[in-house]
């Protein structure tokens, strides 16, 4: 499940951007556009860390239109930075079969774009969306969880209306704080990591993830540093995670 960045492609700086939740009413990505752009400009690689698009709570009722707009959004960044590499990791809100298939086809003739991935290791750092914690670190439970999300239809207008009220009341922020406590989240990530092949995880000293919508900046647990950039959702802090690699990492 962990892919490895080719050793012959040097990386010094990286930007990790996740949980934008584009297409949903709760998204406020426009407030952070300049920050995202400047972060990519400073990096050699941008990892799109999942849930960039929210097909579950999309306000675009036409599926094909949503997929087309998602690909156009990705293409805009790809063309804007012709010297940068991009990696797309799946999240639960964009674990969408039609989108995934279309993205694979779209990326086929774009040599600087990698997709259809769940986790990427670059040097001593592991990158993933982070919803593996929903399986409590258990691989089979995570597969079942992700499978349920792939089958979820677009929420109804009534359900979306209730969700908008919850966002306005900041209920989502309190729920994230309660459900994704920092230490418990990081322990679940470690449990999942240790379930991977030993050769894939030996020497990892940083884990960068999204999903929880809670900023984490260098929290240390069991010798591993953890980073999370938050989300572009109203009332939630957000900033791309910037990683600078040691030359000998």
pLDDT in tens, 25-38: 889 999 999 999 99
8 A C-beta contact, residue 212 and residue 157? no
Helix (H) or strand (E) holding 46: strand 45-48
User: What's 246's DSSP letter?
Assistant: -
DSSP secondary structure, 115-159, as one string: EEESEEEETTEEEE-SGGGGGTT-HHHHHHHHHHHHHPPPPPHHH
| φ/ψ bin of 167: left (φ > 0), alpha (ψ from -120 to 50), beta (otherwise) | alpha
pLDDT digits (tens, 9 = 90+) for 20-67: 999 998 899 999 999 999 999 999 999 999 999 998 778 887 888 999
Specify the 3-state DSSP secondary structure of 240: coil
Bridge partners, residue 13, by sequence: 244
Bridge partners, residue 221, by sequence: 224
Domain boundaries, the chain: 11-244
pLDDT digits (tens, 9 = 90+) for 179-235: 678 999 999 999 999 999 999 999 999 999 999 999 999 999 999 999 999 999 988
Give the max Cα distance, the chain.
Answer: 54
Q: Which of 129, 134, 139 is nearest to 95 (CA)?
A: 129
What would the CATH number be for the domain defined by 11-244?
3.60.21
Alpha carbon distance 146, 116 (integer Å):
14
């Amino acid at each position: 499940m962990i892919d490895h960045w080719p050793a012959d492609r040097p990386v010094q700086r990286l930007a990790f951007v996740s949980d934008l939740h584009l297409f949903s009413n709760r998204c406020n990505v426009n407030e952070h556009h300049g920050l995202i752009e400047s972060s990519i400009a400073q990096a050699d690689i941008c990892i799109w860390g999942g849930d960039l698009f929210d097909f579950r709570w999309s306000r675009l009722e036409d599926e094909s239109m949503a997929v087309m707009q998602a690909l156009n959004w990705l293409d805009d960044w790809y063309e804007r930075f012709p010297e940068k590499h991009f990696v797309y990791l799946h999240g639960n809100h964009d674990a969408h079969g039609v989108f995934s298939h279309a993205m694979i086809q779209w990326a086929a003739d774009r040599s600087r774009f990698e997709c259809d991935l769940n986790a990427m290791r670059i040097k001593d750092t592991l990158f993933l969306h982070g919803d593996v914690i929903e399986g409590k670190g258990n691989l089979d439970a995570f597969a079942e969880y992700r499978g349920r999300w792939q089958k979820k239809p677009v929420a109804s207008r009534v359900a979306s209306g209730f969700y908008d009220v919850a966002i306005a009341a900041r209920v989502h922020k309190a729920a994230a704080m309660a459900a994704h406590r920092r230490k418990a989240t990081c322990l679940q990530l470690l449990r999942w990591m240790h379930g991977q092949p030993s050769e894939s995880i030996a020497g990892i000293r940083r884990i960068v993830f999204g999903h929880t919508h809670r900023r984490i900046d260098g929290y240390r647990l069991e010798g591993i540093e953890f980073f999370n950039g938050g989300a572009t959702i109203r009332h939630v802090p957000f900033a791309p995670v910037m990683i600078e690699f040691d030359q000998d990492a």
